[in-house]
């Protein structure tokens, strides 16, 4: 690991001044991804700005039924929070399905948002990887791509976004708050992460000098929600496919639906097409199938990962079926 300077600002204003003075610096929260990346030589910041002392660790109720979550709230704490468990079960379940108990105790909401892909070629300095080194190629496209994406990919990168939490946040219409020396701005979660296009190394909408300070959730459309994660083993594994869904059914008709997918795209994938098909449709197996089909029409499979398309279809249908029974 390369040596680096370490600073610990006393407040948010000092933190954003520190990063503005040196945009190549990195913020350190729980460290569960950054420290790994520094050990591997993929991140080599000259300065690490430790933000664990900033007052960003609260979960607060908002007027109107929403919730504000500080960026430094630990994943385990957020999953167990009574407001989250009662109003956003999908978020609590997504958090508990991620990583291990030890990692959830350390990892923060801000760090979870900004974690980088787990594509093995990205971590292998001997391999070609456009995301790690622009214009070097992509080892995964003609290589081992069982874990890779089928939606939103490009000829430059087919990596998946690894977060479970972000899939639930995408379904819940979350907004990310970011602060810099220029002020505070808010970005919808669905626009926060970028698709790779021809610049996969640009992963988010965040400017290099911005600090994520909070995530806000509007009041839920329904508390009938679920996170279903399909993976190779029961714990401590990334999703092959995951589904975050909230479904409201009245008199046999879908009156509200929020759906997002994980493990299948380079960003948390909000399933707008499926939502369009389902809204106002009868809450039936047939409608769930049509919605899943509509969302996955654009999917592109490769020899290693084509199975994900059918797996995603079936996981969407199974999740909606379960919620439909509960919510009617
Ligand atoms: Fe790199 Fe993306 Fe290709 Fe993986 S899929 S090797 S992250 S460019």
At 56-103, the pLDDT tens digits run 999 999 999 999 999 999 999 999 999 999 999 999 999 999 999 999
- Give the other-Cβ count within 10 Å of 109's Cβ: 29
- pLDDT at residue 318 tops 70: yes
130 C-beta closer than 6 A to ligand 1:
yes
Confidence of residue 204 (pLDDT cuts 50, 70, 90): very high
Q: What is the CATH number of domain 225-327?
A: 3.30.390.50
Tell me how far apart the alpha carbons of residues 92 and 108 are, in angstroms, rounded to a whole number: 14
**Whether the Cβ atoms of residue 45 and residue 23 lie closer than 8 Å to each other:** no
Q: Going by CATH, does the domain composed of 5-52 fall within 3.30.43.10?
A: yes
- pLDDT at residue 25 tops 90: yes
Q: Measured in angstroms, how far is the CA atom of residue 157 from the centroid of ligand 1?
A: 5
Predicted TM-score of the model (pTM): 0.97
If one compares 2 and 144, the residue with the highest pLDDT of the two is: 144
> Tens digits of per-residue pLDDT, 148-190?
999 999 999 999 999 999 999 999 999 999 999 999 999 999 9
Please name the residue ranges forming H helices in 6-164: 12-21, 34-39, 75-80, 82-87, 89-97, 101-106, 109-114
Q: Measured in angstroms, how far is the CA atom of residue 4 from the centroid of ligand 1?
A: 27
> Tens digits of per-residue pLDDT, 243-290?
999 999 999 999 999 999 999 999 999 999 999 999 999 999 999 999
- Which class for 40: exposed (0-12), middle (13-18), buried (19 or more C-beta within 10 A)? middle
> Which of 121, 151, 238 gets mutated to test ligand 1 (max ligand atoms within 8 A of its CB)?
121
> Tens digits of per-residue pLDDT, 105-131?
999 999 999 999 999 999 999 999 999
Q: Measured in angstroms, how far is the CA atom of residue 237 from the centroid of ligand 1?
A: 19
- pLDDT at residue 217 tops 80: yes
Confidence of residue 23 (pLDDT cuts 50, 70, 90): confident
Q: Measured in angstroms, how far is the CA atom of residue 8 from the centroid of ligand 1?
A: 33
Q: What is the reported pLDDT for 328?
A: 60
Tell me how far apart the alpha carbons of residues 135 and 156 are, in angstroms, rounded to a whole number: 8
Q: What is the reported pLDDT for 253?
A: 97
Q: Where are the domains of the chain?
A: 5-52, 225-327
Tell me which residue has its CA closest to atom 1 in ligand 1.
129
- Give the other-Cβ count within 10 Å of 236's Cβ: 12
How far apart, in Å, are the Cα atoms of 91 and each of 40, 163, 261? 31, 12, 13
Tell me how far apart the alpha carbons of residues 242 and 319 are, in angstroms, rounded to a whole number: 10
């Amino acid at each position: 690991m390369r040596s680096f300077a370490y600073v610990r600002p006393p407040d948010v204003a000092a933190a954003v001044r520190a990063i503005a003075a040196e945009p190549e610096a990195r913020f350190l929260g729980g460290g569960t991804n950054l420290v790994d990346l520094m050990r591997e030589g993929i991140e080599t910041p000259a300065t690490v700005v430790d933000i664990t002392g900033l007052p960003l660790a609260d979960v607060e109720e908002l007027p109107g039924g929403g919730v504000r979550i500080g960026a430094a709230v630990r994943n385990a704490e957020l999953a167990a929070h009574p407001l989250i468990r009662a109003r956003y079960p999908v978020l609590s379940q997504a958090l508990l399905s991620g990583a291990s108990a030890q990692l959830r105790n350390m990892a923060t909401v801000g760090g979870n948002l900004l974690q980088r892909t787990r594509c093995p070629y990205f971590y292998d300095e001997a391999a070609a990887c456009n995301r790690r080194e622009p214009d070097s190629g992509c080892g995964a496209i003609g290589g081992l791509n069982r874990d890779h994406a089928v939606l939103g990919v490009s000829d430059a990168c087919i990596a998946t976004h690894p977060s479970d939490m972000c899939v639930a946040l995408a379904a819940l219409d979350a907004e990310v708050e970011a602060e810099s020396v220029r002020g505070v701005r808010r970005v919808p979660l669905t626009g926060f992460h970028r698709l790779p296009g021809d610049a996969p190394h640009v992963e988010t909408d965040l400017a290099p000098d911005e600090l994520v300070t909070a995530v806000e959730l509007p009041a839920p459309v329904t508390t009938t929600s679920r996170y279903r994660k399909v993976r190779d083993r029961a714990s401590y594994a990334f999703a092959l496919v995951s589904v975050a869904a909230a479904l409201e059914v009245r008199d046999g008709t879908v009156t509200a639906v929020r759906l997002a997918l994980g493990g299948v795209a380079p960003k948390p994938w909000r399933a707008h097409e499926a939502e369009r098909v389902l809204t106002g449709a009868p809450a039936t197996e047939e409608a769930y199938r049509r919605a899943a089909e509509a969302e996955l029409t654009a999917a592109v499979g490769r020899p290693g990962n084509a199975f994900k398309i059918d797996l995603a279809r079936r996981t969407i249908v199974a999740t909606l079926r379960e919620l439909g029974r509960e919510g009617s």
